[in-house]
Chains A and B, each alone.
Chain A
Amino acid sequence: MPSKLIENTMRVNRLPHIWCPGCGHGILMRDVAQAIDNIGLDPDKVVIVSGIGCSSRAAGYMNYNTLHTTHGRAIAFATGVKLANPELTVIVITGDGDATAIGGNHLIHACRRNIDLTVVVFNNNIYGMTGGQYSPTTPHMEKGTTAPYGNIDYNFDIPKLAESAGATYTARGTAYHAQQMTKLIENGIRHHGFSLIEGLSVCPTYYGRKNKKGSTIDMYNWQKDNCIDVKKAANMSAEELEGKIIIGEMSVADKPEYTDMYMKIIEKCGGNK
């Protein structure tokens, strides 16, 4: 028998999931479920939208209204769901490739509009489902099947990208720091506006093996040792922060939300009577 949380939030007959042993996505999906449960949202009023890729399998497992869409277009579908039914809580689960490569434009324009969506990016630094090609978040000079001598691209900093595009809540957590990640997702859902939470996952099968990162446990230990909370990082020098990853709440801003403004336009023009 699975735990009460899993029974209440997942389609138990679809489990165990297809993710590889040690994949961080399972931990991150539990964090999303825990955050929804902590807030006490009515499951009928929650919509999970996903695109394509390892991460996007989550929509098949979570027991809410779910929408598994085309590659990169999860945010576009979610925008439609939210505009048609602003009372719904719309959560997008997407991957690093789905969100920032194939769906890069959808991401920045949803940020710009400040529409009340919560986007959780399961970032495993690689395209896992298709065999380990490098993605926009594969770190510089790390390897993928399509970068056997090292990736010469520089990687995106997803929360920074979202913030500069106009997102009003940005954060980064990891699979290892599960409690913090849950809290960040919870804050993101509560935030009225566009929220982006990057969840650093672990891909032992492709990213780990290609880059000789050691065992699954070594990869989680890496997150434990190299991720620094944003508050602690504020008192550290650039030298001390070399090679480290900053986690926690990156930015929170207060700005009018898109569907609110849209409803005002409808009212002004005499609609909804």
Chain B
Amino acid sequence: MTTKRSPEPFVWLLFSSGGMVTALLVPVLLFLFGVAFPLGLLPAPDHAYLASVVSHPITLLVLFGLCVLALFHWAHRFRYTLYDGLQLKKYSVPITIFCYGGAVVGSIIAAIVLLRAL
């Protein structure tokens, strides 16, 4: 039994906060933009109004935080799905690089997309 401290707490914090933020915000966004606006249940905001909301620094920050945390939540969960579900733990180094690297790449893409809204 080793007693070496694990780097796991940091990715676990991203995973758990990502799970909570995603569970709170994504259903609301999906309902509004996937159901309520297209079906006319709620009056849809026009493009110019939405563009001005999205280009506000606080909205950008919230959306960027949501993207980053959701991606790291996915990375952690998918890593353990591959480890335990598919029993691929012997490939832990490439799996770790793929999962968290994918989250980093996704975060960069999210930042670029969001900055374009400015």
Do the two chains bind?
no
Interface residues of B, Cβ cutoff 8 Å to A:
none
Interface residues of A, Cβ cutoff 8 Å to B:
none
